[in-house]
């Protein structure tokens, strides 16, 4: 899927990737030259369970338009059970964000293994397209954080 080039709107998208599966999957997408929009910026964490819901709230506070978290497939976590914790935490957080008025489509959890460069790329393309369709995120900006 190709994202339309909308010069007016360049979304800010933060992707948290676990070191063992998804970050390696993103590396594979890179070495296989599988393009996805430059709007996605990846932050490396040791495991998806390291992602504190606070990080995601902060991203939205600072003006992110979408946040995606990628981890190892259920059962394949390098630390045995980390992604299960992450999954529960994100389920709770996302429903809270939904309640706060941040659309469900702005957050996503995806399991990407180290061998799934194609999946990483298609996921990012889809996610960016989704954010484009939702437009700019204006809901959760802390006015005190704005210059």
Binding site for other proteins (CB under 8 A): 12, 14, 20-21, 23-24, 26-27, 29-31, 33-36, 38, 41-47, 49-55, 58-59, 62-64, 72, 75-82, 85, 89, 113-116, 121
Q: Output the smallest distance, CB 60 to other proteins, in A.
A: 9
- 41 vs 101, beta carbon nearer other proteins: 41
- 77 vs 130, beta carbon nearer other proteins: 77
Please enumerate in sequence order all residues whose Cβ is within 8 A of that of 130, keeping only pairs 6 or more positions apart, or say none: 66, 105, 108
Q: Output the smallest distance, CB 33 to other proteins, in A.
A: 6
Q: Output the smallest distance, CB 36 to other proteins, in A.
A: 6
């Amino acid at each position: 899927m190709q994202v339309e080039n909308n010069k007016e709107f360049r979304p800010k998208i933060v992707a948290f990737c676990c070191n063992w599966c998804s970050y390696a999957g993103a590396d594979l997408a890179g070495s296989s030259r599988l393009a996805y929009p430059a709007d996605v910026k990846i932050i490396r964490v040791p495991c998806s369970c390291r992602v504190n819901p606070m990080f995601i709230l902060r991203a939205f506070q600072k003006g992110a338009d979408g946040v995606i978290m990628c981890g190892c497939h259920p059962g394949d976590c390098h630390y045995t059970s980390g992604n299960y914790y992450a999954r529960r935490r994100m389920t709770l957080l996302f429903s809270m964000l939904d309640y706060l008025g941040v659309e469900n489509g702005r957050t996503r959890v995806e399991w990407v293994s180290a061998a799934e460069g194609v999946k990483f790329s298609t996921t990012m393309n889809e996610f960016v397209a989704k954010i484009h369709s939702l437009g700019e995120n204006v809901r959760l900006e802390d006015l005190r954080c704005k210059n």
